[in-house]
Amino acid sequence: MPDMEVSEILTQPYMLRAIAGVVLIAINASIAGSFTIFRNVSFLVAGASHSALAGAALFILLGVYGFPANPLIGALLFAIATAIIAGYAPKEETNTAIGISFAMSMSLAILFISMIREYAAKVWSLLIGDLFLLTYEDLYLMTFVTFLSLMIALLFYKAFLFISFDSEGATAFGLNTKRYNYLLLSLIAVSAVMLLKGVGAILVFAMLVAPAAASNELASNLRDVFVYAFIIALVSGFVGIAISFHFKVSPGAIASLLATTVYFFSLLARRFRGD
């Protein structure tokens, strides 16, 4: 394959799907990633993406017993459950609650997988992910959920920002802080699930959080955080695809490596700038 012309490579359906996947991942990294940083709930991304494995495993198990259902729906339900638990816990115990949900979900995932050994690979594929293995069905679901997230973020942008900046003040100014908190955490959890098929549960954290964390260091205003996060995730994804194509390595791993490297350089840049 490496001796194919670039134009020929770029028209291959699996490549087009991978490129579309990267664009959708970059949009999620911009919206959900930035709010993850603002709301200071990075651990939720790791917790929700791993909890999603248990949901996927359960739905595969149900399929085996004659109740067919899309495993991604199960993944979404479990991720949202983790978000709700995180929102329900007192603020100072949020990370503990996410950690316990994470551990419980992984226990369930391993339990379900042990009951369906012949289908275990389907679940483990969500742990690793592969941009080149995205199907049209995956892309349709990713597009729908990304569009929904974008609309919710645009509509409730000020509310999400207010509760992230000053939760107590937001309540005093009449906002239903609890409701917006549940909505925001669910949006972040759903975005984490959307990245599963592309980069896998292990690397979701890198692709969703690192671009926004890097842009948060570099940006001089909120709009730039969203713009830079999108660009960092997009470029990391495209470079990941290009390198993986030539060297036959995981595109998600290369993209995540780049995004996390940008974060460390952004820390250095901020230090040199004297902020």
Partner 1 sequence: MVKEKDYAKPGVETDDTEIEAITSKEVEFRYDEHLVLSDVSFQIKRGEFVAITGPNGSGKTTLLKLILGILQPQKGEIRVMGYSTRERDKIMNLIGFMPQKEHISSNFPILVRDVVMLGLGARKGITKPTKRADEEEGIQAIKSVGLDEEIWTKKFAELSGGQQQRVLLARALAIKPEILLLDEPFNGVDIPSQNKILDLISDLRKKGVTVLFVVHNVNPLLHQIDKIMLLKGRIVAFGRPDEVLTDKNLISAYGASIPIIYCEEGYAHPVYSDIHG
Token pair, residue 86, equals 């995180």
When asked if residue 220 is in the footprint of partner 1 (CB under 8 A), the reply is: yes
Going from the C-alpha of 9 to that of each of 21, 76, 221, 245, the distances in angstroms are 16, 33, 39, 9
The HSE-up count of residue 237 (CA atoms within 13 Å, CB side) is 31
Residue type, 12: Q
Nearer to partner 1, 72 or 159 (CB): 159
When asked if residue 158 is in the footprint of partner 1 (CB under 8 A), the reply is: yes
Token pair, residue 250, equals 């995981």
Token pair, residue 199, equals 């980069």
Nearest alpha carbon to residue 59 among 137, 119, 141: 119
When asked if residue 149 is in the footprint of partner 1 (CB under 8 A), the reply is: no
Sole window of 118-126, 140-148, 164-172, 196-204 interacting with partner 1 (rule: CB under 8 A)? 164-172
DSSP state of 119: G
Which of 8, 10, 11, 40 forms a contact with partner 1 (CB under 8 A)? 40
When asked if residue 148 is in the footprint of partner 1 (CB under 8 A), the reply is: no
**Are 201 and 50 within 8 A, CB to CB?**
yes
**Are 98 and 189 within 8 A, CB to CB?**
no
When asked if residue 36 is in the footprint of partner 1 (CB under 8 A), the reply is: no
Sole window of 116-124, 157-165, 232-240, 265-273 interacting with partner 1 (rule: CB under 8 A)? 157-165
Residue 232 CB, nearest approach to partner 1 (Å): 16
Residue 90 CB, nearest approach to partner 1 (Å): 12
Nearer to partner 1, 37 or 46 (CB): 37
Which of 9, 167, 182, 202 forms a contact with partner 1 (CB under 8 A)? 167
When asked if residue 38 is in the footprint of partner 1 (CB under 8 A), the reply is: yes
When asked if residue 174 is in the footprint of partner 1 (CB under 8 A), the reply is: yes
Sole window of 21-29, 67-75, 124-132, 219-227 interacting with partner 1 (rule: CB under 8 A)? 219-227
Residue type, 179: R
Going from the C-alpha of 86 to that of each of 29, 149, 189, 232, the distances in angstroms are 20, 19, 10, 28
Non-local (6+) Cβ contacts of 203 within 8 A are: 129, 252, 253, 255, 256
Nearer to partner 1, 24 or 218 (CB): 218
Residue 156 CB, nearest approach to partner 1 (Å): 7
Q: Where along the sequence are the contacts to partner 1 (CB under 8 A)?
A: 37-38, 40, 155-156, 158-159, 161-162, 164-175, 216, 219-222, 224-225
